[in-house]
Amino acid sequence: MNSQVAADTVRRCFDFLAEKGELEIILPLKEADHAAGWVIDVVSLPFSVRLTLDRGQVFVELGAGPAATNWHDMGIVISFLTKGERSFEYYIPEGPISDEEVARQIARGADVARDNFAMLVDFFLPDGFEVRESELVAYRKTMSEAHWKRLLR
């Protein structure tokens, strides 16, 4: 899926962010500048979303507000906010990667963001965000270390 078709799909799937304020889709200047295939930023008032297509997988990251500089994997954010009760896990598609498969992955990321919208908005509120963000980074580090310990046993 080329970046323009992807941007149109992203705009349709993440239209719920437009209801909460202005929505802007930002594409890289040139597709070739990113080895992943494409990177699309969805800029909105409550929080921003970055989608990256890399080897057939669409990765979803979240950032604070329209001027996001730090991006956090949506699966980690949701796991952190729900104390591990919920998560967003990626899967490796089998077979050739079609435009329909990429669209399904974009829609799945949008569905998870929509289903957890209120919780995500609260997390990314400017007041006290730096503290919440540092707690998220510590959580991610702890989870990563535990994962590697299990793998390396």
Tell me the pLDDT tens digit for each residue of 28-69.
655 545 555 889 999 988 899 999 998 888 999 999 988 888
| pLDDT score recorded for residue 152 | 82
- Closest to 105 in 3D by CA, of 23, 9, 22, 28: 9
Tell me the pLDDT tens digit for each residue of 6-33.
999 999 999 998 876 667 888 765 554 5
Tokens of 136: 């998220």
Instruction: Tell me the mean pLDDT in the region 74-85.
Output: 94
Tell me the pLDDT tens digit for each residue of 85-111.
888 887 777 777 889 999 999 999 999
Number of helices (H), then strands (E), in the chain: 5, 5
Domain ranges, ordered by start, for the chain: 3-151
Task: Find out whether 93 and 56 touch, Cβ atoms under 8 Å.
Answer: yes
| pLDDT score recorded for residue 21 | 65
Tell me the pLDDT tens digit for each residue of 117-146.
999 999 999 999 999 999 999 999 998 888
Distance CA 62, CA 39 (A): 13
